């Protein structure tokens, strides 16, 4: 199983994400944003957290138009698996691969702490958890306030596309949404950082379970 | 040619920065500020004859996120 982690100028969680994929059994290739095509034989693409292009214009807006992202889009359109975390989630909404947008946190502050989440919906990314289980993951963002119109929110909830909800909403996100999946449930975008809670030294391994079963699940999918 | 693009959060999208500015104006003693909305102004130098349609495409593809923002093009 091979995973590609996209690297933009300003990405800062790319190596953490690569390590989390490696621990889960993936062979990982780092892919610079100026590349025009993903390496061959990629099974999973990770879009990491950070401040791509300095968050200029809007978070994720410039990255969403980077050359490699066109190929990530066609990879996803062909049924490929994509995980976007934090700035990666913002990039995925800017590309249109996921609906909605991430606004400035309602309290206007950058928030960096561990928050409670409830696992919702079903996808390969959440199979390591029980539905409704409460877990804890770190967040670190200024623009994580998920926004979509009511019709979109109803559709996401109706189709089981909300992957994670905050147990105590830190940023004003609509309906406590912390992460959503695409209609084919193969693209996950989430603000919390599972890769930062993936080994004993992190003091929390709730995030490791997101990655743990991916290689076996993808092999049978 | 010069063009100015105004990008604003759509009506109905909460603008926490505008709200903070409104509170700050109140704290300074300015009364009757019932609403503040904060947006962006983007000025561009473009080749003469660039069509409004092309500028609109720039807005749709990059300058504004039409999920949350509206834009207005002003020719200078």
- What's the confidence (pLDDT) of residue A220? 85
Determine the residue among A55, A57, A95 to mutate to test chain B binding: the one whose Cβ has the most chain B Cβ atoms within 10 Å.
A57
pTM for the predicted model, two decimal places: 0.95
Positive or negative torsion for Cα B39, A88, A140, A14: negative
Question: 3-state SS string over A65-78?
Answer: HCHHHHHHHHHHHC
Lookup: tokens for A36: 């025009």
Domain at B24, CATH number: 3.30.1280.10
Domain boundaries, given as residue ranges, for chain A: 2-220
Task: Name beta bridge partners: A47.
Answer: A84
Catalytic residue status for A33: no
The answer to ipTM > 0.95 is no
Number of domains chain B is built from: 1
Quick: pLDDT tens for B17-75: 999 999 999 999 999 999 999 999 999 999 999 999 999 999 999 999 999 999 999 99
Lookup: tokens for B7: 């990008």
* Contact A1/B at CB under 8 A: no
Quick: pLDDT tens for B2-31: 999 999 999 989 898 999 999 999 999 999
Structural domain range at position B45: 2-75
pLDDT-based confidence at A24, cuts 50/70/90? very high
Catalytic residue status for A195: yes
Q: What is the dihedral of CA A196, A202, A205, A209, to 10 degrees?
A: 40
> Which DSSP string corresponds to B9-30?
EPTTS--HHHHHHHHHHHHTT-
**A62, A101, A105 ranked by CB distance to B65: nearest:** A101
Chain A residues whose CB is inside 8 A of the B17 CB are: 104, 108
Q: How many residues does chain B have?
A: 76
A2-220: CATH topology is Rossmann fold (3.40.50)
Scanning every residue of chain B, which has its alpha carbon at the shortest distance from the alpha carbon of A173?
B14
Q: Tell me the shortest Cα–Cα distance from B41 to chain A, in angstroms.
A: 11
Q: Please name the residue ranges forming H helices in chain B.
A: 16-27, 52-58
Report CB contact under 8 Å: A57, B62: yes
């Amino acid at each position: 199983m091979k995973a590609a982690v996209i690297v933009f100028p300003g990405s800062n969680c790319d190596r953490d994400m690569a390590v989390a994929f490696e621990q889960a059994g993936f062979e990982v290739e780092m892919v610079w944003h100026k590349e025009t095509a993903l390496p061959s034989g990629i099974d999973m693409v990770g879009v990491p957290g950070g401040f791509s292009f300095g968050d200029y214009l809007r978070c994720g807006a410039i990255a969403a138009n980077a050359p490699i992202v066109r190929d990530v889009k066609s990879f996803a359109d062909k049924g490929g698996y994509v995980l976007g975390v934090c700035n990666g989630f913002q990039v995925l909404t800017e590309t249109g691969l996921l609906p909605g947008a991430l606004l400035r946190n309602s309290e206007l502050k950058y928030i960096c702490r561990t928050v409670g989440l409830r696992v919702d919906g079903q996808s390969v990314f959440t199979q390591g958890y029980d539905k409704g289980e409460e877990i804890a993951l770190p967040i670190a963002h200024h623009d994580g306030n998920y926004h979509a119109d009511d019709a979109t929110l109803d559709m996401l909830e109706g189709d089981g596309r909300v992957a994670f909800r905050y147990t105590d909403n830190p940023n004003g996100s609509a309906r406590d949404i912390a992460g959503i999946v695409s209609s084919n449930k193969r693209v996950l975008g989430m603000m919390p950082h599972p890769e930062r809670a993936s080994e004993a030294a992190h003091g929390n391994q709730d995030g490791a379970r997101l990655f743990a079963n991916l290689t076996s699940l993808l092999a049978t999918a | 040619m010069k063009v100015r693009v105004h990008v604003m959060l759509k009506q109905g999208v909460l603008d926490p920065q505008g709200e903070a500015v409104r509170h700050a104006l109140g704290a300074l003693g300015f009364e009757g500020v019932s609403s503040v909305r904060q947006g962006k102004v983007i000025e561009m130098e473009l080749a003469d004859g660039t069509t409004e349609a092309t500028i609109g495409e720039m807005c749709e593809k990059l300058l504004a996120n039409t999920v949350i923002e509206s834009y207005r093009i002003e020719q200078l």
